[in-house]
Structures are given as C-alpha cells and as structure tokens.
Structure 1
Amino acid sequence: KRQIHLVFEILMETSVSKTIKSYTTSTSGDGSRIKPVATPRTVVITRTAHGGGGNSTGSVVREVEMRRSTGALSSVNGHTAGVHNGVSNIMENREKEKKDMRDLNERFANYIEKVRFLEAQNKKLANELATLRDRWGKETERIKQMYDVEMTQLRKLLDDAMKSKAELEVKVNSLEETVDELQKQLDAANQLHNSDREMIDRLNSQVSDQESELSVLRRRISSFESDHSRDKAEVQRLRDEIRRLRMDLDQETLNHINSEQEAHSLRDEIEFLKKVHDSELKELAALAYRDTTQENREFWRSEMSQCLRDIQNEYDNKLDVMQSEMETHYNLKIQESRTNNTRGGAELQHTKEENIRIKQQLSELRDRIPELEARNAQLERLLEELRRDNEEKLRDWELERSSLRKTLSDNQAELESVLVELQTLLDAKLSLELEIAAYRKLLEGEESRAGLRNLVEETMKRSSDYETTRVIETRKTNAMPPSNMGIIKGEMSAKTTYQRTAKGNISIQECAPDGKFLTIENTGKKREDISGMRITRNVDNGRQIIRFTFPDKTFLEPEGRAKSIKVWARGLKPPGSSDMECNENTWGNGANIHTVLISSDGEEKATHTQRTVYQSN
C-alpha cells in the first residue's frame, strides 16, 4: 500500500527589492566632470503560496544580483556613450528578465495545479484509509458472531435434509418398482387387447367375406331374374312377331289367291278376245273375199294380216310382261314369308331353350337361398355373440386401463413432487455447502485484507456459477393434455406447451427445440406412401417460414428402422445416415412455432404446435 502525503502551503507574497543605479556630478580642477556611480544591483523575488489540507510549508526564493562597475570618463562624449550603452544593456536585461519571469510563472502555475490534484487525491485516500481502519476489526467480529449461530442451524438443517433424502430415496425406489409392475400389467393388458382386436378383425373379415359372397349370389339372382324377365319380354315380342307374320302370310296367301283368280280371269278374257278377234278376222276375210277386185282383196288381206299380227304381238307382249311381273312379285312374297317363318322358328326355339336353362338355374338358386340364409343367420348370431364378448372385454379393459392410468398418474404426480422436493433439497444442500465453505475461508482470511477481497470475489463467482437451469419435461399425446416444460433461471421463468394432432397413421413425432431436425412417424400397421407430401413450418407468425417436400417413392414401414424418418437441417445430417436433409440451415426456433404436414392433395394430415411464454417472478 502506498500512501501519498503531499501537503504544500505556499504563501503567494512577492517582495521585489531593487537597487537603482544613481549618477552624481562632481566638479574638481579645471572643469566639471561627470562620474557615474554604479552600485551593485540586487533583485530579490520571494513567492509564498498558501495551500489547504496540510501543516507543512514550503517557500521558493529566487534572488538575482547584478553587479556592474564603470570607471570615470574623462570627457563628456565618452560619458554620454557609456550612459547610452548602460541604458541599452539595462533595457535588454529588463526584457530578458520579464521573459524569464513569464516562463517561470507559467511553469509554477502548472506545478501548483498538479500539486492541488495530488493533494485532493491524497485527501481521498486518507479518508478511505481512516474508514477501513475504523471498520477493520468490528466487521469481522460481527460476521463471525452472526454466522456462528447460522452455521449451527444450517448443520442441523443439513442433517435433517440428509435424513429426508435417505427416506425419499427409499420411497422413490419403491415407487419405481410399483411403476415397473404397473407398466408390465399395462403391457399385458395391451397384448390381450391387441389379440382380441386381431380376433375381432379376423371375424369381421370372415363376416365381410360371407356378406360379400351373399351379395354376389343376390346380385347373380337379380341378374338371372332380370335376364329371365328380359327373355320373357323377348319371347312375347317374338310371339307378337310370329302372330304378325302369320297375319302377313294369310294376307299374302289371300292376295296370291286373288292374283291367281285375276290371272285366270285375264286368261279367260284373253281367250275370249282371241275368239272375238278370230271371228272379226273371219268376217273381214269374208268381206274381203266379197270384193270383186283382185288387187283390193290382196291389199286388204295383207293389211289386215299385218294389223292382226301387230295386235297379236302387242297383246302377247303385254300378257308376257304382266305374267312375269306377277310371277316375280308372288315368288318374292312367298320366299320372304318362308324366310321369316324359318328365322322366327329358329329364334323361338333358341328362346325356348334359353328360357328352360334360366328356369333350371333359377330353381337351383332358389334351392340354395334357404341354405345360404341359414348360414348367414348363423354367422350373424356368431358375430353378435363375438361383438357382445368383445364389448364386455373392452369395458373390462377400459375399466382396468382407467384404473391403471389413474394409478400411474397418481404415482407420476407423487414421483414428480418427490423429485421436485429432492431437487429443492439438493439445491439447498449445495447452497449450504457453498456458504459454509465461504464462511470458513472468511474466518481463515480474517487478518488479511487482500485475502478477504479475494474470498468475496471467489464467493460471488461461485454463487454466479451455482445459478443453474432446471428443466422438467413431460410429454402426452392424443387425449392427454399437452406437456409442460418449466425453465427456471435467475428471476425469469418460461412455460412451453407442445400439442400434436394427426388425421390418419402419419404424425409429426418430434421437433427439435434447437431447430436441427423433424421426425415423421408411421403409427399404423400398414405401409404408408408420403411421396409428394410437404412440411410447412411457421416460426413466430410469419417471421420465418420453412418448406420441404418429400421426393417420389418415399415410404414409411409399419415397423423397423423405416417406421420413422428424420429431416435434418442443411449440413447437420450425421454421416452415413439414410435420413433426409432440407435446403435450410435450420428449422427455426422461437416462442410460437406451428408445423403442418400436408398431403399432395392439399389435405392437412398432422400438426405440431409449440408455444413458449416468459414470465418474471
């Protein structure tokens, strides 16, 4: 420790003593002569500065003595020159002295300012030293007396805490064994439930197979009935067609008969006309023979023969045309009628055979219907019995599960309270140990001020190092309430809640709080295709939005390592891992994070919500 005592008291008094040179004139002999009388010149400067805060005094005295002597001049001119030289020298010396005085005054003023600053610093340190001397023994004694009582109480509390700790450890071990037993019972109940569910699924599949077979038979019967009705309609249509064809045949037969009668009458008419024409020809021939002129007879005979041949040819042609047309028409009608009758008969025969076959199948199916109905009724009774048994087992299982869950929740609550109490006791124990060590070092370093300061600094450092973060996390999903995470550090507390939802067998299993990865899991018993699905993560209401789309041919298996898949942030995927990696450096972290899994059709399949609320205690 260095103690500075600088006390100056300077009296600012200046005395200037000057010896002034004088000149005397004396007259002797032949004339008057001027003789300068130069006496020594002495300048004395005494400066005394008064200062506060001390008893010591200091003085600075500067004495300047100048001596000059000159001889007597023999003449007036020489005396005048000497006077001028002396005056100029005196003026130069005065200017030089003034300049030196100014420099000395400035240096002395700076020195005075420095002295005043050091004086104030000295006064402050003297006060601190006096205060520390006053507090040196009293503070240590008071601390010792105060902490002796507290250390006795703390030792007692520490012993009680150790006893409570031992009791709680025993209780925690027993509770852990109880929890293990309950977990085994719960696993056994889950196995029974799974076996019952598998049996129910198997029976449901059998019932569904029987129902599908019955529905197939019913559909076949309905199809046969519809075919039968369609065949009946077709038979009726064919009968109507046959009836119509018969009517057409009768009409054509009647027309044929009428045509034959008409042809017969036309033949008779033709024969009659032939006879008439022959008689007319004979009459004309007789008239021609009665003609007296041979040329006229020949002329009329040739003309009449030509006319008769023309008429005969014309009638023959018309008759042949009419006969051929009638024969062709009636032949076509008869052929068409025969063809229609043949086709209608074949179709009618085919329809009859098909109708007979359908009737046989229908009778066979009708014979099988009572048997299938009896089997269906038996299966329905069996299904109803299985359903009742399953409902009873489910009720029993639910009751047992609820009781086990209640017991488990009670045990977990008790275990958490015990852990909290144990953590509190451990914290108290650690703080007591730190305080005991601090007090011990405080007592050991009582006589050393430097040791006391180091002890205080070390104690403060340990106290700051002891400030820890305690995290308690509980996760529950589906019907259970969201999990809570309490973070306690200093005077701030934070509450973080997680909530998950899922539509189907795919869920967002885990989101790393530091934004390193996400985990997608298949919770079902079938293989799930997640190709084209995308993840959207919204951090703090749009402050940061991260998107990721699964590539094609990405599947999640119902069990094994491929049951879940992790999507890491860029550069964080472990080497050799088969997980995926997004294009972002982080998945983001904040106070309000909402993660959504969306299918390729735009449907929301799963969500994961994380909210953190900070509070001041």
Structure 2
Amino acid sequence: MSALSLRSYGGSRGSSSMSLGGGYQSRIASRAPSVYGGAGGQCVRVSYASGTRSGFDLSSALGGDNGSYGCNAVSVSEKATMQNLNDRLATYLEKVRSLETANAQLERQIREWYEKKKPVISDYSKYDATLADLRRKISAATLSNASIILQIDNAKLAAEDFKVKFESELIMRQSVEADIAGLRKIEGLKEELVYLKKNHAEEIAALRAHLSTSSVNVEVDAAPQQDMARMMEEIRTQYEGITEKNRRDMESWYKDKFDELNKVVASSTETLQTSRSEINELKRTMQALQIDLQSQLSLKAAMEGQLNETESRYSMQLNQLQGMVNSLEEELGRMKTDIERQAGEYRMLLDIKTRLEMEIAEYRRLLDGEDVGRTVITKKVETVQVQKLPVVTKRVRTVIEEMVDGKVVSRTEDVDMEVPQN
C-alpha cells in the first residue's frame, strides 16, 4: 500500500483539495503566477514523482520534464494526446469492469462450489434411542448381577449355617443311637435276668420236691436245730422281694429314659429331615442363580461388544468427518489467498484508474489556462509483512520527498517495525 500527497502553488485562486483512491491524496495551494515558461503565468511547468508509475504521466504527455512552452500551448498534438489519454482511460475502465465481472463470477463459482462440496453428514440420531436403551439394559444387568451375587453370598452363608446345624444334629443323633444301643443291651440283660430267675425257681422247686420225698431219720443227741425249711423260705421270700423291688425300679428308670430318648430321637429326626429339605432347596436355588448369573454375564459381554463396535464405528466416522473438515479448511485458506490476491490486483487497477482520472482532470485544467507553478511532495509508504512461524513481523517504510521544478529538495525516510497482535 502506498500513499501520494501533492502540494502545488499557483496563481491567486483559493486552495483546493482532491482525494485519490487507493491511498493517494493531492493538495493544491495557489500562489502568485509563476515565471517558469513565460510571463503572466500563461504557461506551466509540471513536475510529478511517485513511488510507483502507471506507465505514463503528465510530464511525458506534455513532452518532457524540463520543456518550456509558449502562450499558444494548446495545439493539435495536445488534442491528440488528450484523445489518446481518453482512449487509454476507456481501456482501463473496460478492464476494471471486466475484472469486476470476473470477480463476481469467481465469487458465484465459490458459492456454488461450497454448496456442491458441502459435506454430507449422516444423521445418526436414529441410533441414539438404541444406544440409550442398550445403556439402560447394561445398567440394569449390572444391578441384577450385583443383586444375584449378593443373593449367592447370602445363600452360601445360609448353607454354612445349615451345615453347622446338621453337624450338631448328627452328633446328637449319634449320641441318641449310642443311648438306644445301651438301652437295648439293658433289655437283653433284663431278659437274661428273667431267664436266670426262672432257672433258679425251677432248681428251688426241684430241691424242695427232693427234700419232701426223702425220708432220712437222723437222731442226734444235741440241742434242737432250727427249721431249715422255714429259714430257706424266709431267705427266699426276702430275696424275691428285693429282686422284685430292684426290677420295678430298673424298669421304671429305663422306661423313663427310653421315653425321653424316643422324644429326642423323634425331634432330632424331624429337624434333620427339615434341614435336609432346606439344604436341597438352597442347592436348587443356588444352581438356578448360577445359571441366571451365567446368562447375565453372557448378555453383558454381548452388549459390551456391541457398544465397543458402535463406539469404534462412530470414531471412524468422526475421523473421516474431521479429515473432510481439514481438507475444506485448507481449500478455504487457498481460496482466501486467491481472493486476497485478486482484491490486491483490483485495488491496483482502481488506483491506476483514479490516477488516470486525476491526470485527465489536471490536464483539462491546464488546457483551460490554469497556469501554476507547482511544488510536488511525494510520500511513499511501503508495508512489508514477514511471517516466520511462530512470530509475524510487520515492517512499515515511509519515504517523503519534496520536489521543486523536478529537483528533490528534501527527502525523509522512516522505517517502523511492529509485531501484529493476534
């Protein structure tokens, strides 16, 4: 980007200003008639300097930088030169219009390309309900698995308790069986006692019969003896009473003991049967829970596999879309660069057009007899932007030249460095 400032001094007219497109500005200040090129200010000498030239200027159109003209400066050659300038202006205007048309066509093509190349994004919202349902099922299966594991642990604890109860009942049963065996042994001893009593009674009866039938007369000259039969009868009666009393006591004790043991055995047997049925029921429940757990684990594994597959598919599609977005961004960057380049060319042509219009206007004023002596001050600004990752440096170079009669009387140059903020 460059800027041009013109300052001129002429006759007694008031000062006037003119704006130049694209950063150029001209200021014309009038002063007393110039003595250059003739008296009375009827002829002029024009000096023009700029950072960039459009291929021609007024000095070349008027025949040089240092030429002097008389009062009759307007001639046929000058009219031809003006016609040539008009033709060149028309050519440049036509070129500007053609570039504007091409720019509009390029913008339309860019919009059409964007419309055609717009990425087609598939609608995966229809899978959201399925994914949400699968997630809910997985959560429910997880909770169900935790509940089943808790039930299995409770069943194991209950089985351990029943096992302890079974062992204690088994020990009690073994004790009762040992008591029953002792009672049976007592019954055998009682039967043996009855058999021995019976044999003893038979022997006594036989002995009595033998004594009653025998007739032995023994005369002993001694003191009278006691009656042996009576003594034997007393002894027998006494022993029979003792035996009968012992038998009744024994029978009563063993009967009470046997009844008590029968009650214990009956209650133990009932408890054992109940424990066995509960153990069997718990075993069946545990097997059913294990089967249910295996089915839930299989369902969980299947759902996790589906979820992983869905996530991998979505990740692949996301990578593809990201690649498309990156390619579109690169294409957009290239297009922006191209548009900026064409905009720069357009601005350059617009600057040339503006300078041509100003030169024609100035030339017309000269032809109309505006005699001025002019001092030209040229200001040229050059902007260079250097981009080195990761720092972008911008350098602005400003050159100001003051020219009088085609001679540079002063020159000022300034260079600024700045880093643009992102």
TM-score by structure 1 length? 0.31
Structure of greater relative contact order (alpha carbons < 8 Å, 6+ residues apart): 2
Relative to the length of structure 2, the TM-score reads 0.42
